[in-house]
Chains A and B, each alone.
Chain A
Amino acid sequence: MSIGPVQETSATFVGMPAFPEAAREALANTQQRTNLRNATHTIRAKRASVVAEVPEWEALRVAGAQSKDEALHHLGDYLEHLEASLVANGAVVHWARDADEANRIVIDIARSKEVDEVVKVKSMATQEIELNEALEAAGINAWETDLAELIVQLGHDRPSHILVPAIHRNRTEIRDIFIREMGKVGRPAPDDLTDDPAGLAEAARVHLREKFLRAKVAVSGANFAIADTGTLVVVESEGNGRMCLTLPETLISVVGIEKVLPTWEDLGPMLQLLPRSSTGERMNPYTTMWSGVHEGDGPQEVHVILLDNGRSHVLADSVGRQALRCIRCSACLNVCPVYERTGGHAYGSVYPGPIGAILNPQLRGTASEIDQSLPYASSLCGACFDACPVRINIPELLVQLRGTVAQQGGHRAESAAMKAAAWVLSDPKRLAVAQKGATTAGRLIGGRTIRSVPGLGAWTDARDLPTPPKETFRQWWVREHDGRDGDGQARGRADGIPGSEGGLPDSDGDER
């Protein structure tokens, strides 16, 4: 059976505009904003309620973070241990430095099996390396089997969320996509399909069943990889993943090197943290574990590709490496007020939301405009850190990455403004001079509301600007307290400006 390429548009994110511009477009999509608000608020409430049920939640978070940190601190050792355990179980282990190497290995295995299609269980790692596009270029169709991934793939769309890739779509949109697209790539949707969830799920089930039973090769990721037993673990809700992992003859698992856990015991906290944080469920419906090859049961050939693709670079940064603890639960997305309004596409990556804002610039570097903009795609409200089940201090990392971007030169005007601000604020005399400018403006304005200031359009387009007061606090204090300061000594002149030599900073912030 030969079917044309599924993707009419490339799923690649290269060439995406920087976050503020992409966000502006996303904000204009009112249907998407409604869908996102409803979905994130529903998941948020469910998560909060099931997390509140666990009195030892904080201890679990700490245990989860410690397991991951232990693995990351001795990553080389645990990876070698994992490889040895997997090989002992009959799996073939491959190492891939980057996307090209990983894609090449998958394509070579698929070609050796003489197949022109593979089924896939939802995998962030394979999206990260754009495996589907690489397979398509090699003449091999990759069928996504996770329901949400299927919707995204059939809609020639990109995932908008880590866990709920089609979060930005509503039921009616999904029905339209199924009716329009399913027949082009396999079993068509029934003509009388409505937007009833059970009917939509049934249409997907029938469409996918055909592919599960036919496919000889499956591609998966893994949520966890346990070093001491050589066990890979996939956590899911639908059972489609289990079909992929058990039916085809050959299974290829693409696993990021940060997925390793030292021991079987480390899995316990994870299996409590992940479902409650992600879907707001006490336990996920399907947890599949596989350890190599077992005669007469499941795939008879198992390949595991251990993928670096920038991870060892992240590991080298003592603060940044905490991002590698991420278990892809997406709790940070669901609580993020920025994500809630923009959706995932604006982040220009398979990893959107707060975790994407710290992970992408670390994995990909900060050379591109989008990766330079991502650390600023946050109001630093801290909701993500509170929700993270493995305690990744996302705000701390955002601030650190902003430093990286600024050190590269940042934006010239901003850099000059920040250096000027630092120069003014580093000396009370200079601050008082600047304040005098503000209060003079305040007197001139005379308490009227400021609706527009040239150059401040980003503020005044939708917000009134505060009116500067006629007197600063400092001036008031001097007037009220006779210039007494902490030492009880008079300082400064009556206008509160202790000396008023001005001068503007030069570009290095030094006084001329």
Chain B
Amino acid sequence: MTAMTPRDTDLRVALFATCFNDTMWPEAPKATVRLLERLGVSVEFPMEQTCCGQMLTNTGYAGEAVPLVARFVDVFGDYDAVVAPSGSCVGSVREQHPMIARLSGDPGLASEVERVSPKVYELSEFLVDVLQVTDVGAFFPHRVTYHPTCHSLRMLRVGDRPLQLLRAVRGIDLVDLPGAEECCGFGGTFAMKNADVSVAMGTDKAQHVTDTGAEVLVAGDNSCLAHIGGILGRQRSGIRRMHLAEILASTQENPS
């Protein structure tokens, strides 16, 4: 497959940056925009967006997440597709928003969620399934290992889509991560509430990453990367952590 040209799609596409990326890791949504524009997609960023509510729901405050779900369908309801550089937040939209809407007792909200949430894609899903492209014309001449995050893997079932995209990157030396499918231990507030277990899990994951000899750890979720990267950083390992979007956006002329 080849890179797309602007006339290939007339979909109206919105970027859901996610509150965490927006605030703490803007490089991932920026790279998503650069990448999609390079592929001919004119991506829009509705300024009224905030958060999917996952942190609230997963900590037991689903009721508090209802206004966020209402806002989400309101902001994104008119787009043909919504793309987010986060498997976790997309998992929350597709799996948890229907539950939250049901709990809210508002049938209008429930039907809106049913209409909107299937149009929300994690980045690799959007590229491979909607744009039908695996070679995005990226260039990244480094040794890289990929951690498939739990929500991408088991909630969204993205399968090997991220790997298909990475394998097509020019110059990349992609190495397998041992125990790749095991959770890194981030788990949202789990990282704070059960910090000892979380760190034990993350330390094992960091060890596997180090064992690969990779220069760069890549994943589709900055939350997991912040956790594993925080441990690698404390160990002064020198291994960089990057979001999948940053590597796919990287080109010879404009390297990440």
Residues in A lying within 8 Å of B, measured CB to CB: 19-20, 23-24, 27, 337-338, 341-342, 375-383, 385-386, 396, 399, 402-407, 410, 414-415, 418-419, 421-422, 425-428, 431, 434-435, 438, 449, 451, 458-459, 461-466, 468-469, 471-474, 476-478, 481, 484-486, 491-492, 498, 509
Residues in B lying within 8 Å of A, measured CB to CB: 14, 17, 19, 21-27, 29-30, 33, 44-51, 53, 55-65, 67-68, 71, 78-79, 96, 99, 150-151, 153-155, 181-183, 185-203, 226-227, 229-231, 233-234
Find B56's partner among A20, A421, A468, A492 (CB 8 Å cutoff).
A421
Are the C-beta atoms of A23 and B53 separated by less than 8 Å?
A: no
Are the C-beta atoms of B58 and A485 separated by less than 8 Å?
A: no
Find B46's partner among A338, A402, A464, A486 (CB 8 Å cutoff).
A486
Are the C-beta atoms of A385 and B154 separated by less than 8 Å?
A: yes
Q: How far is the CB of A7 from chain B (nearest CB, A)?
A: 29
The interface residues of chain A lying within 8 Å CB-to-CB of B203 are 462
Are the C-beta atoms of A380 and B190 separated by less than 8 Å?
A: yes
Given contacts A20-B194, A403-B61, A422-B68, 6 further A-B contacts (CB under 8 A): A380-B188, A383-B181, A464-B230, A468-B23, A485-B47, A486-B46
Q: Which residue of A lies closest to B24 (CB)?
A: A466
> In the complex the two chains form, what is the Cα distance from A441 to B44 in whole Å?
29
The interface residues of chain A lying within 8 Å CB-to-CB of B63 are 403
Are the C-beta atoms of A383 and B57 separated by less than 8 Å?
A: no
Given contacts A382-B150, A463-B202, A466-B24, whether A399 and B57 have CB atoms under 8 Å apart is: yes
Given contacts A422-B67, A462-B203, whether A379 and B59 have CB atoms under 8 Å apart is: no
Q: Which residue of B lies closest to A498 (CB)?
A: B47
> In the complex the two chains form, what is the Cα distance from A376 to B191 in whole Å?
11
How many cross-chain pairs have Cβ atoms below 8 Å apart between A and B? Answer: 209
> In the complex the two chains form, what is the Cα distance from A358 to B202 in whole Å?
24
Given contacts A382-B155, A399-B62, A422-B61, whether A449 and B233 have CB atoms under 8 Å apart is: yes
Are the C-beta atoms of B45 and A477 separated by less than 8 Å?
A: yes
Are the C-beta atoms of A431 and B19 separated by less than 8 Å?
A: yes
The interface residues of chain B lying within 8 Å CB-to-CB of A461 are 195, 199
The interface residues of chain B lying within 8 Å CB-to-CB of A23 are 194, 196-197
Are the C-beta atoms of A428 and B48 separated by less than 8 Å?
A: yes
Are the C-beta atoms of A418 and B17 separated by less than 8 Å?
A: no
Given contacts A337-B182, A466-B230, whether A459 and B26 have CB atoms under 8 Å apart is: no
**Dominant secondary structure of chain A at its interface with chain B:** helix
Are the C-beta atoms of A426 and B71 separated by less than 8 Å?
A: yes
Pairs A–B under 8 Å by Cβ, sample size 18: A338-B197, A376-B189, A381-B150, A381-B182, A383-B154, A415-B61, A421-B55, A422-B56, A422-B64, A425-B19, A425-B51, A425-B68, A463-B234, A464-B234, A469-B26, A469-B27, A472-B22, A474-B22
Q: Which residue of A lies closest to B65 (CB)?
A: A422
Are the C-beta atoms of B68 and A426 separated by less than 8 Å?
A: yes
> In the complex the two chains form, what is the Cα distance from A341 to B183 in whole Å?
12
> In the complex the two chains form, what is the Cα distance from A474 to B33 in whole Å?
12
Q: How far is the CB of B95 from chain A (nearest CB, A)?
A: 8
The interface residues of chain B lying within 8 Å CB-to-CB of A425 are 19, 50-51, 53, 56, 68
Are the C-beta atoms of B194 and A377 separated by less than 8 Å?
A: yes
The interface residues of chain B lying within 8 Å CB-to-CB of A404 are 60
Are the C-beta atoms of A468 and B50 separated by less than 8 Å?
A: no
> In the complex the two chains form, what is the Cα distance from A20 to B185 in whole Å?
14
Are the C-beta atoms of B62 and A491 separated by less than 8 Å?
A: no
Are the C-beta atoms of B56 and A378 separated by less than 8 Å?
A: no
The interface residues of chain A lying within 8 Å CB-to-CB of B50 are 425-428, 431
Q: How far is the CB of B88 from chain A (nearest CB, A)?
A: 10
Given contacts A337-B182, A485-B44, A486-B45, whether A378 and B187 have CB atoms under 8 Å apart is: yes
The interface residues of chain B lying within 8 Å CB-to-CB of A421 are 55-56, 64
Q: Which residue of B lies closest to A411 (CB)?
A: B193
> In the complex the two chains form, what is the Cα distance from A341 to B201 in whole Å?
8
> In the complex the two chains form, what is the Cα distance from A434 to B24 in whole Å?
12
Are the C-beta atoms of A27 and B188 separated by less than 8 Å?
A: no
